[in-house]
Structure 1
Amino acid sequence: MMNGVTIGQAAAFVGVTVKTVRHYHKLGLVEEPERDSSGYRRYGSDELLRLVQVRTLATAGVPLAEIGPLLDADAEQFTTALADVERQLTARIEELTARRDTLHRLADGDRALLPDRAVALLERMSGLGFIPDYVSAQREALVLARVLVPEGYDGFLAQLEHWLDDPEYVDLTRRGREAESWDPDDPRIEELATAMADHYLAHRTLLGNPTSLRAWANASAQYRLINNHRRDQAPMAARLTTLTEAKLRAAGVPIPRQ
């Protein structure tokens, strides 16, 4: 009667493939048994036990390169090593959870690139009747601002919230979008710029808090990139912004130059 089982039987008993068993041999995790008189390798209880131990640790997430030293360690070293593996797995789980959350946010459009507070602002703009192109431009500006001027981002969101809470400002902004259909020399552009600047100066919270203003004042290059985004698609609105900002600078407001 032959002692032990074939590699195929050993693999089946342990719950892995023959290829996996051979891989364990190649890495030195399980010694290959000697061949019997018929030339076959027969796996006995010692080899099967080692296979079970290796498979269990591998399934638990222990890297194969660490399994050999782990199995050969004493009880104290084994416990310490397992604790370290657990920490690594916890970190990996947190990373994978964050990736999964990002995928969920991707499925929800804006939420992959913007925080919930910014998404809520975009939804408010749509609810207030701003046209899709305007909301889209604001979405892109919010994404750029978050990356380019992170220290001023919360202040920027607060500023937008103040804007949308102000019916007169919302009306002025809507009129600014209507300016795209005006003639470049239309005197209403200058009049609207004056009205917007006067409204800002009369309601200073619309200009942002001091911290946010400093952040933007120190990021003139980033400000230009954001402010000039889509400029060619809305030239009248861009001109209106330039005129309004010039009037605010003349009043001492620290707005970066284009």
Structure 2
Amino acid sequence: MRSGLTIGQAASFVGVTIKTVRHYHRLGLIAEPERDTSGYRRYGSADLLRLVQVRTLAGAGVPLAEIGDLLDAGPEQFAATLDDVHHRLDEQIEDLTARRDTLHRLTHGDRALLPDRACAVLERLVGLGFDPTYVATQREALVLARALVPEVFDSFLNRLELGLDDPEFVALTKNSLEAESWDPDDPRIEELAAAVADNLLVDRARLEMPTAPRKRSDTAARYGLVNHHREDRPSIARLNALVEAKLRAAGIDVPHQ
């Protein structure tokens, strides 16, 4: 009777299943030992070594189809092949990490479409007591800005962040929301527009648009889609138009719609 281990013992010693060992045999990764007089295949130390090598490489991410050639290769080819496998694994890790981050964002609402910095701005709006409808409108505007005019997205966020640090700006914004119920010809709209424009002009630098978007032939259209998103109330449309007119009169380059 030939000495050695049965397939079950070999699989157990190496840490795989019998099914896995048989699969390696079918792929030609490990030669099947001869049967002993009792009809059992007996695995010797050389068989176990090969099995350990295959299991280790497979566990490291080397495709089974490549393991046979890899184990039969010389030292230089072996090292080169492992480097290639390492590179491919790095790419897979990056891809899986990106997918994981996307799933994480999907489970956290806004973070599926907006960076953490923008989400923080939305959270600040909630903390300052802004109406949920306004917060939702700002969320949509941020998503549009990031997609349509990514060059100005950071400056757009800067403007929002600086504004939320200014109690007067916060109060004026809330007053603007109240203007939704006003008649478009209400004289208070012009007074409010002047106050908003004066507040914005205190720091002119934050009103400047980057030069890149201005080179586009459709700059005004892109800007308008973002800046006038959900502008479906005549009073708000007039308020925004008056604010923009006052900014232009003060020398601020606001694209005409």
Give the alignment's TM-score, normalised by structure 2. Answer: 0.80
C-alpha contact (below 8 Å) 1:217/1:254 kept by paired residues: no
Q: Distance in 2 between the 1:14 and 1:220 partners?
A: 68
Q: Deviations over 1:36-67 (max 9, x none)?
A: 66766544443332221100111122222221
C-alpha contact (below 8 Å) 1:164/1:170 kept by paired residues: yes
Change (3 A) 1:87 1:206: closer
The runs of at least 4 aligned residues of structure 1 exceeding 6 Å deviation read none
Q: Distance in 2 between the 1:227 and 1:26 partners?
A: 64
C-alpha contact (below 8 Å) 1:149/1:216 kept by paired residues: no
Q: Tell me the number of residue pairs that the alignment of Structure 1 and Structure 2 aligns.
A: 255
Structure 1: 5+ residue stretches without partners = none
Q: Distance in 2 between the 1:224 and 1:231 partners?
A: 10
Q: Deviations over 1:205-235 (max 9, x none)?
A: 342x342x65367433332332343334x55
Moved more, 12-21 or 81-90: 81-90
Equivalences for 1:71-86 in 2 at 5 Å?
71-86=71-86
Name the counterpart of 1:237: 236
Name the counterpart of 2:176: 176
The reply on whether 1:224 has 2:224 as its aligned counterpart is yes
CA RMSD of aligned residues (A): 3.1
Q: Distance in 1 between the 2:194 and 2:212 partners?
A: 24
Name the counterpart of 2:22: 22
Q: Distance in 2 between the 1:240 and 1:35 partners?
A: 91
Instruction: Please state whether the residue corresponding to 2:73 is helix, strand or coil.
Output: coil
Name the counterpart of 1:46: 46
Change (3 A) 1:214 1:197: farther
Kindly provide the amino acid, as one letter, of the partner of residue 150 in structure 1: P
Moved more, 150-159 or 163-172: 163-172
C-alpha contact (below 8 Å) 1:122/1:135 kept by paired residues: yes
Name the counterpart of 1:69: 69
Cα shift at 1:251: 5.0
Kindly provide the amino acid, as one letter, of the partner of residue 128 in structure 1: L
Moved more, 155-164 or 96-105: 96-105
Name the counterpart of 1:190: 190
Instruction: Please state whether the residue corresponding to 2:26 is helix, strand or coil.
Output: helix
Q: Deviations over 1:47-99 (max 9, x none)?
A: 33222110011112222222122111112322333333334334433444444
Structure 2: 5+ residue stretches without partners = none
Kindly provide the amino acid, as one letter, of the partner of residue 244 in structure 1: V
Change (3 A) 1:155 1:35: same
Change (3 A) 1:238 1:46: farther
Cα shift at 1:7: 3.6
Q: Distance in 1 between the 2:70 and 2:9 partners?
A: 26
Kindly provide the amino acid, as one letter, of the partner of residue 213 in structure 2: A
Change (3 A) 1:202 1:10: closer
Kindly provide the amino acid, as one letter, of the partner of residue 53 in structure 1: Q
C-alpha contact (below 8 Å) 2:184/2:234 kept by paired residues: no
Q: Percent identity?
A: 67
Give the alignment's TM-score, normalised by structure 1. Answer: 0.80
Instruction: Please state whether the residue corresponding to 1:231 is helix, strand or coil.
Output: coil
